[in-house]
Amino acid sequence: MAGLSLAFGRPPEQAPALGPIAAPAPRSLAEETPARRAHALPPTPAPRENPAPPGAAAPAAVTAVPVSGPLAKVLPGGLPDVAFAAYRSAAATLAGASPRCGLNWSTLAAIGRVESDHGRYGGSRLYSDGTVAPAIRGVVLDGSAGTARIGDTDGGGFDGDPVFDRAVGPMQFIPSTWRVYASDGNGDGRADPDNIFDAALAAARYLCAGGEDLRNPDGLRAAVLRYNHSESYVDMVVALDASYRAGAAPVVVVPVTAQKPPTGAVSPVAVPPAGTPSSPAGTSEPSPATTSTTPTPSTGTPGSSAS
C-alpha cells in the first residue's frame, strides 16, 4: 500500500522541464466559472466494467518523487499549477519505479482534464495542498442510464453510498480500485483520493500496471483503454495528451493561491458518467465523477472518470 518504498537500483529520473509555450493573454480564475467549465466538457461514454489486465498482480507501493524547480511560466489548457506539479511528480516517480512504462505527465494531465477538469468540475476548487473541495463524486453506479452496476465495496467509506459504488476524486477511482492503488503523492502520510497529488500517483501506477510501453502509440492506447474501456474516451485522452505535450492546447496561467479548503466544504459535487476503467487483479476501476450540482458536460474537452 501507499507509504512503503521499494529499492529500484537507481535514483528516480526527474521529469523533463517544459520549454516556453506561446500563449494568449492570461485569464484569471474568476473567468473559469462552473458554467463555462461545464460547457467546455464534451459528453463521454457511460462507465461500464471491463476485464482486468491478464496476469495483473497487486501493485508494489512506491515513494513519491518531488519535482523541484519552477513549474512553467505558462501552463497548457488552463492547467492549474498545483495539478501540473502533481502530474509531473507522479510521472517522475514512475520513471524511477517503472522506467519501462514511459509515462509522461501529459497523459495524466489529459486524463485529469477528461475526468474532472483537474479537480475543478462543477464548482469544486483545487487548493494549494492538492485538496479538491467540495469532493467530486461520480454518478451512482446502479446500472441505470447505461452505467455499470457496481454494488458497494467500501461501506460508503470513500463515496458516501452504502448501497452502490461511485467514482471518487479528481481522477475518478472506484473505491475497490482505490484500495489497490491508494498512494501518498505529497508525502503527508495519507492516501486521499480527493487530493490530486495522491490521485495522480495512483493513476500513474494504474496506467503502468499492464506492462505496456506508453511511449509507443499502441501501448499508450492500450493503457488508457484499461483506464476507461471506451475507444472514444481513448481518442479524447490521446488527442489531449498530444496537445499538452506539444503546447498546442490553449495556454492560460491559472495560479492556485488558496491554502486549504474552508471547514465544512464537504458537500460532494457530482459529475456525469464518462467511462469506467477496469480494475487490475479483479478489482473495479475508477469511474465518472459526480458533484452535488450534477453538471452536464458538453463539447470541447473531455470530462470522464476512471474506475
Paired strand residues for 195: 131
Asked if residue 7 has pLDDT above 90, the reply is no
Place 249 in a pLDDT band, splitting at 50, 70 and 90.
low
Asked if residue 96 has pLDDT above 90, the reply is yes
Paired strand residues for 142: 149
Residue with the larger pLDDT of the pair 104 and 67: 104
Asked if residue 172 has pLDDT above 70, the reply is yes
* pTM for this entry: 0.66
Would you say 72 and 255 are in contact if contact means Cβ atoms under 8 Å apart?
A: no
Question: What value does the mean pLDDT take over residues 10-18?
Answer: 29
Element (H, E) at 217: helix 217-227
Asked if residue 282 has pLDDT above 80, the reply is no
Question: What value does the mean pLDDT take over residues 134-152?
Answer: 93
Domain boundaries, the chain: 29-54+73-282
Place 81 in a pLDDT band, splitting at 50, 70 and 90.
confident
Closest residue by Cα to residue 202 from 278, 306, 118, 104: 306
Asked if residue 198 has pLDDT above 50, the reply is yes
